[in-house]
Amino acid sequence: MQENLRNFCRRYQVIYNEEPHLLSPRSHTWLIRDVDGKKWVAKEKSPHDPVVELLNNFKMLHPCFDHPQPVSEYNEDCYLYPYIVDMMLADGPFEDPEIIEKVFELAGRLQALFRSLILVPFYKETLRSKGFEGDFNSEVSRFGLPRVQLMDDRHKSARHREIAQSYQWTERKLEYCINQLVTRAHWSGTVLSAFRSKIHSNFAIHTPITGSNLSHTSFHPEHVLFCRDKSTAIVGWHIEPRPRFYMMYTYLAWSFTHSKRADANQFYQAYLVKNSSKAFHQEHHLVFALCLMEQIIESLAKHPTSQFNPSPEKERQAAELFTECVKNLP
């Protein structure tokens, strides 16, 4: 792999002598310092993962946050981008209420950005049409009603696929998490079965309120960065359809499993109560419980021995919070 990585970087004129530093073993992400001292990040992906195209499209929409700007082609096994100078929120006050509110706002802006991706082809057409010399009528026809209707049909087809993909992912994740947790202490098989039934009977979590249900699949403090110029950056990109509110509750569930607060259960349950008090009570509880299961399993996979996080006490607290979520479902 190291030789493949070196050759990949050379294709984009990034030459290094020092061995790359592995940032994340599970996601295969490396920090690279080239011979000129500039830092780069190389992150492994599948050749058909659209993340590079999506990140490049972000530039057309001028998001309010910084993000990786790949210099590599979309069909590579990795993508390469300049390192973002930052402080990872996981090393900072990720549980501060003011920070949590800012992250919730950021998640909302990210959802709006995903909704706006449908506009990118029109923006590109507009830019290409500038300085056009030729038949004006044929040029304008590209923005006529048939073209708009075609784009609308494609948009609807994409939303239908995303709803199906969200459902399929949830079914796989649900069964995997239940199979992992049902034999462990503190996790009630009865409660887990009840939760499975509730998930199966609520398809609404897969239908977006507006726009799409595309999500950053790891939207938590390890991937939200505070930059030196006081701006925000988001890294760790993998974009797929997920249930409603997934990014918000992934952040809270990760924060809960890493919390140092003595009142963690009450603190995080209060956010759930607040969020679900106005509308979509059941959907909020279902998705928070699902994200809590996912983050506990993720944490157990990273730290399989009890001397690391999550401790038996933290897992007990998580099981209690999960049970409370299920009991509050109608």
How many whole angstroms separate alpha carbon 171 and alpha carbon 167?
A: 6
How many whole angstroms separate alpha carbon 277 and alpha carbon 130?
A: 49
Torsion 135-137-139-141 (CA) sign: negative
Most confident of 43-52, 155-164, 281-290, 302-311: 281-290
How many whole angstroms separate alpha carbon 108 and alpha carbon 165?
A: 21
Mean pLDDT within 308-321: 84
Q: Three-state SS for 74?
A: coil
Tell me the two tokens of residue 227. Answer: 């930059």
Mean pLDDT within 79-89: 90
Reported as a pLDDT band with limits 50, 70 and 90, residue 60 is confident
The model's pTM is 0.88
How many whole angstroms separate alpha carbon 251 and alpha carbon 218?
A: 8
Residues contacting residue 6 through CB under 8 Å, at least 6 positions apart: 16
Reported as a pLDDT band with limits 50, 70 and 90, residue 15 is very high
How many whole angstroms separate alpha carbon 319 and alpha carbon 292?
A: 9
Q: What is the pLDDT of residue 267?
A: 97
- Residue 93, pLDDT > 80, answer yes
- Residue 1, pLDDT > 90, answer no
Per-chain mean pLDDT for the chain: 88
Reported as a pLDDT band with limits 50, 70 and 90, residue 25 is confident
Query: Are the CB atoms for 309 and 260 separated by under 8 Å?
Result: no
Question: Over the range 189-213, which residues count as b (16 or more CB within 10 Å of their CB) and which as e?
Answer: eebbeebeebbeebeebbebeebbb
- Residue 131, pLDDT > 60, answer no
Flag the least confident range among 144-153, 185-194, 244-253, 314-323. Answer: 144-153
Q: What is the pLDDT of residue 180?
A: 95
Segment 237-271, tens digit of pLDDT: 989 999 999 999 999 999 999 999 999 999 999 99
Most confident of 164-178, 204-218, 301-315: 164-178
Reported as a pLDDT band with limits 50, 70 and 90, residue 141 is low
Report the percent of the chain where pLDDT is more than 70: 88
Flag the least confident range among 68-82, 108-122, 128-142. Answer: 128-142
Distances (CA, A) of 1 to 20, 28, 41, 74, 326: 11, 10, 15, 19, 45
Residues contacting residue 292 through CB under 8 Å, at least 6 positions apart: 249, 253, 256, 257, 318, 321, 322, 325
Reported as a pLDDT band with limits 50, 70 and 90, residue 150 is low
Strand-pairing partners, residue 88, are 225
Segment 267-282, tens digit of pLDDT: 999 999 999 988 899 9
